[in-house]
Structure 1
């Protein structure tokens, strides 16, 4: 994309330059930044790569997310089939939700 198009997009979003727009949206995912700037997320990826700008916070690993879920009994996903199947929680609420889900699935 030519530079003048980039700068025009940035100005429409209230930034002085496309570099400033990319840096201002660095904390957002590519999809969210694309919506804010009015461009596709692959365009955001290219712009970030050209400037060497990445997402500020690294996402925790699957094992870390699972451990955090299991350690927090107040998590709203407890008591859901998702908690049982995808996260591997075997608490009473998640087990009951999975049983109910399977029963409804068989009877449907």
Structure 2
């Protein structure tokens, strides 16, 4: 009985073979598309843009539904439901834009 599991890209769902891709959750093509995706960042601070990119690179934001994601907090102790326009993190609950929302926008733009 074969019990090996296949890790799949969080964006295109193709099997991942490279150790770095498996760790990131995205294949090299999808990761490049996400990095190049045109997203309006004018309402975000530079540290939020950096945090959103890190969130994606670390594979800490996972698609839940078509536009809803689960994002891990900076310290890794909490998870938040996030979408491009809303988030359950403390900033999102105060109707402020957070880097979780920006990461969701970046993923959907790719």
- TM-score computed with the length of structure 1 as normaliser: 0.23
Give the number of the structure whose alpha-carbon radius of gyration is greater: 1
Greater fraction of residues in helix: 1
Q: What TM-score, normalized to structure 2?
A: 0.23
Greater RCO, 1 or 2 (C-alpha within 8 Å, sep 6+)? 2
Between Structure 1 and Structure 2, the one with more strand by share is 2
